Structure 1
Amino acid sequence: MTGRLNSAQPYAIGLFRIVVGLLFACHGAASLFGVLGGAGGNGATVETGAWPNWYAAVIELVGGSLVLLGLGTRAAAFISSGAMAYAYFKVHQPSALWPMENNGEGAAMYCWAFFLLIFTGSGAFGLDQLFAKRSEAARDQAPNKTPVTA
């Protein structure tokens, strides 16, 4: 049983990455474009350049999209995790200590989900994996250029 679970791990990580990236990108799209209920669920958008909401929304949209695609997953997850840690400690935590009390569960969960992806990478179904396979195949097909010594 453990062997089958271990062999399925890249696929589970890939599906986890896709879902987390999609949901995170949706938050950014809602805040920037007013879709999916908009910022705060009232169809509003954040003011362009407003600190920190507009920057957070851009990180959510771009970081979420990159994680969703599995493109630069570790770097995008690092930045996204940091943004959610900032959101938790600057926005939520000052009103109460625990996420249940300060409405910071989303920020905390995203922070830790992205933190995990920093260490696991994209898993299956990611463009990172596709590009790695292509570069490995190209490297294998390249002629061996060893220097000739006299």
Structure 2
Amino acid sequence: MRYFEQGKEYVISLYRIVLGLLFVCHGAGTIFGLFGGKQSAFGAWPGWWAAAIQLVGGALVLIGLFTRVAALLCSGSMAYAYFTVHMPKSFFPILNGGEASVQFCWAFLLLAFLGPGIWSIDRMLGRSAAIRVNAPVRQAAEA
């Protein structure tokens, strides 16, 4: 079990990198028609804007810059996608094709709480050092 604790920050970094890369690929597929994706018209709502969030937000998550904010934005965009596009067809993701939206939503929300891990620009700049996975919760001093 000790190895799990020692490797936690590294695994979080790898998780962030893979998650960001997958999201960038989705955005690039919609904006540029890459990877077999159907290209959306520039500025079209909501497809092009969702893809822009995927591309830019995914890239920020990938490199670990403004990770928590970018992850929260990406999570919210996937929640929006699920509730506006998929859920009207059926509540259950397996029936409405919304599995990826739900998984990305929860994955990014988790990352927003965990932080970027050790291999990130945020960590190099000292932004994420204040909140770590094992950081104790500070209690307000009683007056």
With normalisation by structure 1, the TM-score equals 0.83
Structure 1 residues 57-136: aligned runs within 5 Å? 57-132=51-126
Where in structure 1 are there 5+ consecutive unaligned residues? 40-44, 134-150
Q: How far apart in 1 are the matches of 2:84 and 2:29?
A: 21
**Structure 2 residues without counterparts, runs of 5 or longer:** 128-143
How far apart, CA to CA, are the structure 2 residues paired with 1:66 and 1:102? 29
Name the amino acid aligned to 1:15.
L
Q: Classify the secondary structure of the residue corresponding to 2:85.
A: helix
* Percent of paired sites with the same residue: 50
1:19-64 deviations in whole A, cap 9, x for unaligned? 000000000001001111122xxxxx10111110010000000000
For this pair of structures, how many residues does the alignment match?
A: 128
Larger radius of gyration: 1
Which residue number corresponds to residue 37 of structure 1?
Answer: 36
Superposition deviation, residue 7 in structure 1: 1.0
Deviating above 4 A after TM superposition, structure 1's stretches of 4 or more consecutive aligned residues are none
Deviation at 1:12, TM superposition (A): 0.6
1:131 offset after TM fit, Å? 1.1
Calculate the TM-score normalised by the size of structure 2: 0.87
Helix, strand or coil: the match of 2:126? helix
Matched, 1:56 2:50: yes
RMSD: 1.3
Higher helix proportion: 1
Q: Give the whole-Å Cα distance in 2 for the aligned partners of 1:79 and 1:102.
A: 23
Q: Residues of 2 paired with 1:24 and 1:124: CA distance?
A: 20
Deviations 1:88-125 (A, max 9, x none): 00000110111100000000000000000110110121
